[in-house]
Each structure stands twice: as structure tokens, then as C-alpha cells.
Structure 1
Amino acid sequence: MGVVVALDAFDPEGSTYMRQVFPDVIEQGHPLHATWTDHAVGLFVAKSRVTRDMISKAKKLRIIVRHGTGYDNIDAAACRDNGVMLCYCPGISAMNVAEVVLALTGACAKNLIEVSRQLQAGERLNKKFKSLYSASLLTGKTFGIIGGGTIGQMVAKKFIGAYEGNVVVYDPALPSQAWGSIPHTHASSLEEVLPTADVLSIHVPLLPATRDIIAAPQLKKMKPKAILINTSRGGVVNEPDLWEALKDGILASAGVDAWVREPPTKEDYGHVFEMPNVVTTPHIGGSPAEIQTATCRAMVDRMKEVLIDGIEPKDRVC
């Protein structure tokens, strides 16, 4: 079967399952871990970057499995060129991501972070305070969703259930019947969604076609009181353009869980953390232990399908 390498550290319970299925797996701390390109047949990856040069050097490599949704840290084109299978584990964290979207939306609309800061600073708040007076009502508002996959659908259901909202979705790859049970309007373009959305939530992978899909031109088409939520990938929103739009009042606030540089640090984003109209979280969509365990098990199962069972793996990219 060959050697399987865990390039990153994974959830303890999930890692136990990994060792049960692949008893000889090479993990961090093993003397052969640093030279994985010489002997790896299978590669488990979380956040580490796997470049074309690495893939080209790994002559024995048959399959890479990415832990979680998205695979932008792995050179998929290099996998194709070198005959390496690439799989990932989408959808497992979808429910938690949807809950994070709902939480960020509420925190932005009610200015909860800024109100908390003011209270902690000893300010006496009343209804004339801007942080309270500028709070938004969410019930019955229009919720724009970019990306109609599993997460987008769950977010739509939560917006409808929690806020009795009107949902507008844009996804050029979305079949017309895919959202049959969810009340919604299917937009024909991104530009159709932008001026109508009171809340815009993004749920697309980071690909060349989606990088900077939201930048200054798009932000300027949104309502001044609109809220932007990004729980997908940092690169789908042009960060400098977003910070400027928030400073200039082009839109009201943003909830940001996905960053270009992760984890987001004070050194990189201190100026953003201090902005009163940004709610920040460090990419927590897949954080709960039960999701980490389930994702790790799914990752191991993808590898098992190829290297042990000899069958076509689920969620194959190439």
C-alpha cells in the first residue's frame, strides 16, 4: 500500500481513527515526516500549503485528501498534471458555518461588539448613542446569498426561519430545481443581488474566478446600511477595499470569519480589530470538536477508499 503521511496535526479523536485504519501513518514528530516527498503514497493535509514543486518531487504520491471545505492551499493543477488524485471533505461543517453566519449577522445588526466595548470602558449608554441608535431590524429584510451549495442553502433556511427574510441567491452553476423547497429568488447576476441585499453572505470556494469577487466596484453598488458576511475564504473579498468601504460609510458593517492571512493576528489586522463596525472571528466555522472529529474521519475514509478498498473516492476534485 505504501506510506501515508499526515502533513498537519488533526483532532485527537479523529487521529485515533486515522491510526486504526493506517497503523503506520507518519505524523508530525516522526523522523521521516520532513522528507515526506520521498516516500508518501497518500497525504493528509489541513492548512499546510502543498506546492507544484512538492507534488512534482513526490514521485510515489497517488492521493491527497484535504481536511475540510476548500482546497486552495493545494495546487490542484499540479495534481492533475502529475496524475495525483485530490479529494476534500465538503459539507460536514455546513451547519456550524450557517450558525456562525447567523451569529455574525446579529452581532453586526445590533452593534453588539461596539456596545460591549463602550460598556466596558465605563460609558453611560442611552438610546441616543450611535451604537444603539444605528442598530438595524433584521425581520423581513432581504438576504443575498452568493453561492448556492450546501452551506448557502442552510444559511438561507436560517435567515428565513430566524428573520422571516426574503432570500435572493446567485450561483451560475446552481440548477434551477436545486432550491425547490426553499423560498427564494434566483438572480441571474451578482449585480442583480448587490443593490437589493440588506445582508450579503458569501459561500464560494477560492478559485481564480472568485478571487476578489467582491471589491470596490461591487461594494459601491450595495446599500449604505447593508451588512457583509464572509465565512468562506479571505481572498473572495478584496480586504483593503472592504476596510475602506467601512471607513467611508459605503456599507454599515461586516462580519469577517475568513481572512487572506490566517490566523488573523494583531500585527496584520490590528487596524481592523479596532474598527467599530467590524465583527471579527478567526475562521471558526469548522472549530467545534465534533465537527473536527467528523471531518477527520471523513478524510481518512476518502484515503481508505483509494488505498485499501480500491474504489472511486467521494468528493474527488481531480
Structure 2
Amino acid sequence: MKKIALGKQFISQNRYLFSCPICGEPFDQVIDFSLRCPNGHNFDLSKKGTLYFLNHQANNEYGEQMLQARQQILQAGLFDPIIDAINAHLTEEPETILDVGCGEGTPLAKLLTARKQTDVAVGFDISKAGINLATRYGAAAFFCVADLANLPFNNHVFSAVIDLFSPSAYAEFNRVIKPGGKLIKIIPNSDYLDELRTLLFGSDQANSVYSNQKVFDLFKHHYPGATAERLRYSFTIPDGLQQALMIMTPLHWGRNQNQAAEKLIKDLTAVTVDVTILVNQFN
């Protein structure tokens, strides 16, 4: 089945998930390869079976080269323990999952493979290039281009919202999560990719030190009862993927980047992954 046909099948079966980002009304029709709301707003499936919900110009710094490098590294297992930890917080029953800022789709695809459930899953990102890459994973999940601040989804339709390293819009999350559902947010800690950071910036530059304390504090402000757990491990870089590791992260944009980094990166054999997993259970 072609990707556009798979996309039509998903939106036909799960139309209840989606609402019009222009007027806010739930979509009430699937006509040919389009979603249509009661006020006549149409959103057409692309040939890759995705929907483009943005009604403004996207400002995204993640180019295709960076996303392809990220896909290589994530397929090689960089986030596998994180994905296992996310799965441990989900139920053994089928979930309705929203992946916030899904990028090129690997974490969501791996999560669904690990779960072996009949989950309904949607990943969205502001990057069209990322969403196009995500469609390589077939029909396991549906992917779309959307605005975090104006989610094209109905109220209280997702049992789990996953936010892996992405910005948050807590009012929107509260709106789309079901009663009894969960918000799972993963933030990098100060030791995240520390070896790469040291390689690029040494120990005395502005980018040598990293903290997500403000992000942590804001989450806890919104959800005082949320749990927090730290996950820290070492990832062995597969031979030949050192360059991809450097390209996949915004660290390589740094103004004070070590000019010799491209040569030195070849000798990097492992990096530290250090994250906090924040979980809020909704009543």
C-alpha cells in the first residue's frame, strides 16, 4: 500500500484525534485524501502520507543533514535505554500516544516496536524535513507537521504525551491529555554528551557548562506532584558514526567550536547520556 493510502487509512480510522488549527472545530470528514472541518478548511495528505497543519512560516534550524545524522545515531541505539524507561511508565494496554517534536521519528518507532501493542500513535514536528524522514518507518505511526503552541488535536484524546528533549506548551498538553493519562518529559542533564562538549569547547568556554534546571523547575511548577528519576549510562559509538554524532547535536553550532574537532572526533569511542525523566499522572 502506498504511503498516501496508509495515511488516509489512519486519518479515516482516527479522525476523532484531530481538530482544525484554524477554527478549532473537530474534523468531520475525510474526502479523498483530505481532512475537512465543518467550516470548510481542508488539509491534504502529502504523497508521503503526512499532514501539514502549519498556517505560518516555520523557523527551524534543524536541516536535513543534521536530521539524517540523528537518525543514524538513534538507530544505532543512543536513546534505547531512554525508550525502555518511557515504555516502563506506559501501561500494558494499548495507548494513544503523542510524540512532541518527534524529529525524524526513530524514538517513537522504536517505542512502538518494543511495546508490541496495537497503540495509536502520532508524532509531530515543526520540521517538514524531519517528518519526511519519519515516514521511512512505515505505518506504525502517523506523522504530521504542526505547531506546538496550536496543536491540531481534540481535547483529551491522548493517554500518553511524550516530550523527548523538545520545548513544551503545558496548557496545550493539559488540553489534549485524557483524564488518567500521563505526560512524560525527558530533559538532558549537565553530563549529557559531556565528552563531545569537552572536545568542542574545552573546559573554559561559555558552552562548556550546561544546565536544564530552569526547565526542570518550570515542569515542577506546573506539576508539583510529578516524579523525577535520573538515567545515566555510557553509549559506545559504532565505528564510523563519530562524525554523525557531532552533526546531530546543536553543540556543533557553537561559536567557540574547536577547529580541530573534526580530526579529534575520530578518536571518540563513547559518550555519556545523562537525563532526567519527569512523569506527571493526570487525575
- State the TM bucket, normalised to the shorter chain: 0.3 to 0.5
User: Rg: which structure is higher?
Assistant: 1
> Which one has the bigger strand percentage?
2
Length-normalised TM-score, structure 2: 0.41
Length-normalised TM-score, structure 1: 0.37
